Amino acid sequence: ASAHSTFGPLNGVFHAAGVPGGSAIQRKTREEAESILAPKVKGTLVLDAVLKDIQLDFFILTSSINSILGGFGQVDYCAANAFLDAFAHCNIKKSHTFITSINWDTWQEVGMAVNTAVSKQLQELRAENLKQGILPQEGIDALTRILESTIPQVVVSPSDFLNLFQQHNSDQKILISEVLETINKSHATHPRPELSNDFVTPRNDIEQKLAEIWQQILGIERIGIHDNFFELGGDSLIGIQVISQVNKAFDLNVPIAKLYECPTVSSMAKILIPEEDEKTNFEQRLLRGQRRRQMKMQKMLDESSS
């Protein structure tokens, strides 16, 4: 009513509210997730209720390509946009209003990807991603064409979407790893910060190697075996490189989730050591089995000869 009295009749609505996520699901609280979901989910439901008796020409929901491709550390943001997509499909058949959800790719000069504050370490990564973004005029042209359509969901991207979909995960990991590696090499190291635990030096070769990997990537002069990766300033993106280097160093395939289960050098070393222990135990069991078979065979030979 207030908008109607101020601006006159409503002919269409653009629902563009939203805030970015930015934390891995293992470290996200319910309250944090709800704050990301609310603008898009609750905002859409409120608008739908308020506008139910108004005949609109269009109702545009500003979604993101992340609801289809996903995004590391963006579980709540992806879910919020997936809700917009589902809402458009659900309501297009029962509403006289044209409703569509637009899955926008990154924009070059405007939008959330440009305006969201990020750490200095990740600014280079963002700049690289924005090179392939949508130009403002391209976005306007796409929006004009969408308003002339009747499609409930549209993906807008400068890239071939099928190729983008297939290459997204692997390319994202490679890009993050390469950019962070370059950044880390150029960074000077700094002293170990004040932590809740005392410094404890590595006790074996595995812990020593893990500590060296963390020191190189985090840029910290020395890291104790009980120092928490996240207290040291690590985050989900830096964690990708840590696990990548661990896998290279030990010729393993440790999943990124293990960093949240084992966020210290000591705890991570324990998941690497058992593999050697299990191999040794298997070899020992194999030798014991061979000895038992040899003894049994010798006993049978002795009995047959007597």
Closest among 141, 176, 138, 175 to 159, alpha carbons compared: 138
Q: Could you tell me the pLDDT band of residue 276, with boundaries at 50, 70 and 90?
A: very low
How far is 265 from 206, CA to CA, in rounded Å?
A: 9
Main-chain dihedrals φ then ψ at residue 59, nearest 5 degrees: -135, 105
pLDDT, one tens digit per residue, over 76-107 is 999 999 999 999 998 877 778 899 999 998 88
Phi, psi of 153 (to 5 degrees): -150, 130
- 48 φ, ψ to 5°? -60, -40
Q: 304: which 2 tokens?
A: 């047959």
- What are the residue ranges spanned by the domains of the chain? 2-166, 188-306
**pLDDT confidence of residue 143:** 93
Superfamily name with CATH number, domain 188-306 = ACP-like (1.10.1200.10)
The per-residue pLDDT for range 2-35, each reduced to its tens digit, is 777 888 888 899 999 988 776 667 677 889 889 9
Give the closest residue to 154 by CA, choosing from 143, 168, 140: 143
More confident residue, 72 or 194: 194
Question: Does residue 282 have a pLDDT over 50?
Answer: no
Question: For the segment 27-52, what is each residue's pLDDT rounded down to a tens digit?
Answer: 778 898 899 999 999 999 999 999 88
Residues 6+ apart with CB under 8 A from 235: 23, 73, 119
The pLDDT tens digits for 206-241 are 899 999 999 888 888 889 999 999 888 887 778 888
For 2-166, give the CATH class: alpha beta
pLDDT at 114: 46
